[in-house]
Chain A
């Protein structure tokens, strides 16, 4: 059973987390015609915006209520109202996703009733625009929690409540934040290949996939349509991906009675097989030839790739669901999870992580635990640790600011798992040392474990 070690340091060294409101904004970015709005000081927005831009290399719609000292003391409802009205008149979004920050949450106002009041008072001006609230203080949670809260808020705020006539072919899919643009595209293709009609919420594949529109669009373009969110209750089945999507899936079930199935991960042959079987059962269609072919390719990749994984020690730092996704992938290939670091100790998924311990902490902890491992797996900020330790870094998650195309890398389903195997095997092959007589000399390092503390040669 895995032991979860809580954080005992006072100084976080090289944070692993990105903030909770950033996670919520990320989810809102997957909805068509949306403008996420941070309720906080302008710096909160600016930092998140810059980080998004560095990761996606795209313009990111994200605005701020620009709370200053005085507004913070007197209360921020006026700023919130002004911001919402300004956004409406300037960009006419279909959805304004309000994400609170530590600043306003520390002061602590009733934002839900503020927004209800604003919507009631300004119903005429705000016609055609939904306003949804996610309570996401920075002093709690990280991307995972923020993303899940935003999705829950959209379901609770927009989806029509009550049991409704079900559409036999319609599936609601609630993906976790760790799915890339390519993952969402593949997910849609896979579901459609069974003749099913998926509604993916949120769907970042429209807005953040790096297209060049022929005009300037101030909000998100592409992503889940508001009408589809409203009609989620007509789906015959909901599929949630990642433990953190349980809450939104439960919210949908409670609201509309749509039952959900939760997949902890869609990386790895067995999990995908289960997913494909489910689609087959819902649709009554056997797995199409294309899907079978992809599965065969993955089988081959497992055969070709496992040589490179076996016995390798892997150090991973990621948010809980992504940690689970990657740790099960690596251990499923014969590697050992020698170090696992995550952002919070409360996620249920951590108990399933195939490692001896999971440390709640930061990249400083990862660096301490990763000495002697063969591969670091975390986001771009792991580059300093990788350099100091001389261990290669595989970039995953958010932010990835020093490599292009991270959004177009598939990480789930048959082809995503196949590509992950290739990526890791290639990193190992690229950093392979040629054998030398010295390294293989049987008389070298003959010292017994007891001798360790008295090295024969003094170091200068």
Chain B
């Protein structure tokens, strides 16, 4: 456990993170996750976070060393897409029984499980995840993995992020460390080129990276490894030979990006693939970094030409929505980069932003939002669900864009809602993705159900008129009271990105 503790300290002390840098040394050691309040906590554990980051690696067998719940309650639940192998969607767990725990048979069962998977599926690698119970009973998964790797002649990667060590975010970072320690740099590619890049923190949800990859293809830029979306084990193992890295989901894998820069001299930048200007900016920065690393400077010109062409098409498509969406009010409740990256494009079609969360945004993010919105009042650090519900009930917005966890706050307030976090079913990345997002907003706001669900039953209308005065007061108290349970939940409402 001591090595895990050292690892956690190391991850918390992240020089690549602006937020972390602004803290005092003592505070920094405690990391970015706030202590949880029993009875008022929400969100996933470190294991959850580690699995989120690694599981989209499509050809790897992911084996969870745990009693049933850790895997049994959570498998096949995310919408990352694969262009080939589907092994990642097959769930493997040692499903420890009481007897296994009491008799200390965990390690042996794990070893056998690895053998069974190797024999039946012959994957290029097996990732083994530790969990609370197996950490508590002292199963040494690193030793088992090492022995299995020697015996079976395939990479068996220990992912040491048991749930009780911390939050989902910490798990994200520990997963990055596992890749650094055991995967990246273990295979030397024979096809290194000057236009090779890595994309970190892109999950290929609903296949959305495939909206962007053709643009890179057109420029002759090759994605050596997209981690983890639609990744193959060998891509990641040879990712250290890329020339530049784009980091998409900043908080999740910043340690990985920084350490790859230190170890293999791969420069990185933080960017976003959401929104038109940001997609352009991302392409531009990729080209610049590649040229700096020795690619031909003519890449810059080609990139600008492509950007101009694609932007023109996208803006033209968006204009079609202006008459339908002009003046509509959007409440944006998501974290980090997404806040400002979609704001600009939404405003371009005449949508008004009545609020955007800046919970996970950096100082620069906030500056950008301020410039775009021209009014600080529209920014909120984190909005309690009670306030969200009140805002929506009073029709201060026409739609809320958020993650799945706040879905029912909107829907039970009979308010249009659009999922823009991990569980969504539509791709929003790149130029076409932004057009799709606006189209979905249009469809959601103008759905004919809203006028139906909001109308009270005819026989209630008359009664309501007289009751309203007294009921209103009571309902308000109940509402306020009701939302207290979410008081601790806001942190996680913003998803992990």
Interface residues of chain A, those whose CB is within 8 Å of chain B, are: 9-15, 17-22, 37, 40-48, 50-51, 53-54, 58-59, 61, 63-69, 72, 79-80, 82-87, 90-92, 101-103, 106-107, 137-140, 142, 212-218, 362, 364, 381, 384, 401
CB within 8 Å of A: which B216-271 residues: none
User: For the complex, what is the distance from the CA of A99 to the CA of B89, rounded to whole Å?
Assistant: 29
Q: B163 to chain A: which residues have CB within 8 Å? A: 41-44, 103
Q: A212 to chain B: which residues have CB within 8 Å? A: 412, 414, 453
- Tell me if B412 and A216 are in contact (CB < 8 A): yes
Minimum CB–CB distance for A26 against chain B, Å: 12
Interface residues of chain B, those whose CB is within 8 Å of chain A, are: 36-48, 63, 66-77, 86, 89-98, 100-101, 109-110, 112-117, 132-133, 136-137, 162-167, 386, 389, 404, 408-409, 412, 414, 453, 475, 478-479, 481-485, 487
- Tell me if B38 and A90 are in contact (CB < 8 A): no
User: For the complex, what is the distance from the CA of A69 to the CA of B36, rounded to whole Å?
Assistant: 12
> What would be 29 A-B contacts, judged by CB atoms less than 8 Å apart?
A10-B94, A13-B90, A13-B92, A15-B71, A17-B72, A22-B69, A42-B43, A43-B47, A44-B69, A46-B42, A46-B48, A51-B77, A59-B408, A66-B38, A68-B164, A86-B38, A86-B39, A87-B40, A91-B484, A102-B101, A102-B133, A103-B133, A138-B67, A139-B68, A215-B475, A216-B389, A216-B478, A216-B479, A218-B483
Minimum CB–CB distance for B187 against chain A, Å: 26
User: For the complex, what is the distance from the CA of A337 to the CA of B75, rounded to whole Å?
Assistant: 27
Given A11-B93, A72-B132, A217-B478, A47-B69 contact (CB < 8 Å): yes
User: For the complex, what is the distance from the CA of A44 to the CA of B36, rounded to whole Å?
Assistant: 14
User: For the complex, what is the distance from the CA of A105 to the CA of B188, rounded to whole Å?
Assistant: 46
Given A86-B39, A90-B39, A106-B101, A18-B132 contact (CB < 8 Å): no
User: For the complex, what is the distance from the CA of A9 to the CA of B162, rounded to whole Å?
Assistant: 24
Q: Could you say which of B68, B90, B116, B404 has the most chain A C-beta atoms within 10 Å of its C-beta?
A: B68
- Tell me if B117 and A11 are in contact (CB < 8 A): yes
- A88 (CB) vs chain B CBs: closest residue: B39
Q: Could you say which of A22, A85, A139 has the most chain B C-beta atoms within 10 Å of its C-beta?
A: A139
Q: How many A-B residue pairs have CB under 8 A?
A: 224
User: For the complex, what is the distance from the CA of A316 to the CA of B384, rounded to whole Å?
Assistant: 45
Q: A364 to chain B: which residues have CB within 8 Å? A: 90
Main secondary structure of the interface of B (DSSP, over half): helix
Q: A362 to chain B: which residues have CB within 8 Å? A: 95
Minimum CB–CB distance for A359 against chain B, Å: 15
Residue B95 contacts which of A12, A44, A79 (CB distance < 8 angstroms)? Answer: A12
A-B contacts besides A11-B93, A11-B94, 11 pairs, CB < 8 Å:
A10-B110, A15-B68, A42-B167, A46-B43, A59-B412, A65-B38, A66-B37, A86-B38, A102-B133, A138-B133, A142-B68
Q: B408 to chain A: which residues have CB within 8 Å? A: 58-59
Q: A20 to chain B: which residues have CB within 8 Å? A: 68
Q: B98 to chain A: which residues have CB within 8 Å? A: 137, 139-140
Q: A67 to chain B: which residues have CB within 8 Å? A: 164
Q: Could you say which of A9, A51, A61, A215 has the most chain B C-beta atoms within 10 Å of its C-beta?
A: A215
Minimum CB–CB distance for A158 against chain B, Å: 21
- B485 (CB) vs chain A CBs: closest residue: A218
User: For the complex, what is the distance from the CA of A213 to the CA of B136, rounded to whole Å?
Assistant: 43
Q: Could you say which of A15, A101, A362 has the most chain B C-beta atoms within 10 Å of its C-beta?
A: A15
Residue B44 contacts which of A11, A46, A102 (CB distance < 8 angstroms)? Answer: A46
Residue B73 contacts which of A48, A80, A84, A91 (CB distance < 8 angstroms)? Answer: A48
- Tell me if B44 and A42 are in contact (CB < 8 A): yes
User: For the complex, what is the distance from the CA of A106 to the CA of B136, rounded to whole Å?
Assistant: 8
- A49 (CB) vs chain B CBs: closest residue: B42
Residue A82 contacts which of B39, B75, B86, B117 (CB distance < 8 angstroms)? Answer: B39
- Tell me if A12 and B92 are in contact (CB < 8 A): yes
Q: B95 to chain A: which residues have CB within 8 Å? A: 12, 15, 17, 362
- Tell me if B38 and A47 are in contact (CB < 8 A): no
Q: A37 to chain B: which residues have CB within 8 Å? A: 39
User: For the complex, what is the distance from the CA of A34 to the CA of B68, rounded to whole Å?
Assistant: 25
Given A102-B69, A216-B389, A86-B136 contact (CB < 8 Å): no
Given A10-B109, A107-B136, A139-B38 contact (CB < 8 Å): no
- A214 (CB) vs chain B CBs: closest residue: B475
Minimum CB–CB distance for B164 against chain A, Å: 4
- Tell me if A213 and B412 are in contact (CB < 8 A): yes
Minimum CB–CB distance for A314 against chain B, Å: 23
User: For the complex, what is the distance from the CA of A66 to the CA of B36, rounded to whole Å?
Assistant: 6
- Tell me if A46 and B475 are in contact (CB < 8 A): no
A-B CB proximity, top 3 nearest: A43-B45, A86-B39, A83-B39
Residue B68 contacts which of A11, A19, A72 (CB distance < 8 angstroms)? Answer: A19
Residue A218 contacts which of B67, B77, B90, B481 (CB distance < 8 angstroms)? Answer: B481
Residue B484 contacts which of A42, A90, A138, A142 (CB distance < 8 angstroms)? Answer: A90
